Amino acid sequence: MNEKRQSEKIYRDAHSATDKNEYDWGQVFATVTSLENRARMIGAVSVLRVLDSMRKSIARGNKNKKILRATQIKLQQIQAEITEYQQNQMVR
């Protein structure tokens, strides 16, 4: 029984250290804010809606590694979309 308690304690201690995740979420939040500003400047309303929902999700406190990874991937896609949109506007 003691081994089971110890293994559970080790598991909880490893997952309760959220300092690194907090820092990562801070970076993600800053990236979302930056992308929102860029989307406002170019007038990409659909992107603004997606970023607004992501910002609200981050603010709610859903701090999970899987969600963090998915959010970062989605932000990279949005960043590429904004860059492509800006390039298309320059061509016109």
CA 10 to chain centre: 28
- Sign of the C-alpha dihedral, residues 62, 66, 71, 74? negative
Separation CA 35–CA 29 (nearest Å): 10
Total-model pTM: 0.66
Tokens at 60, concatenated: 């709610």
- What is the tens place of the pLDDT at every residue in 10-61? 767 655 555 455 557 788 888 889 999 998 888 888 888 999 988 888 788 6
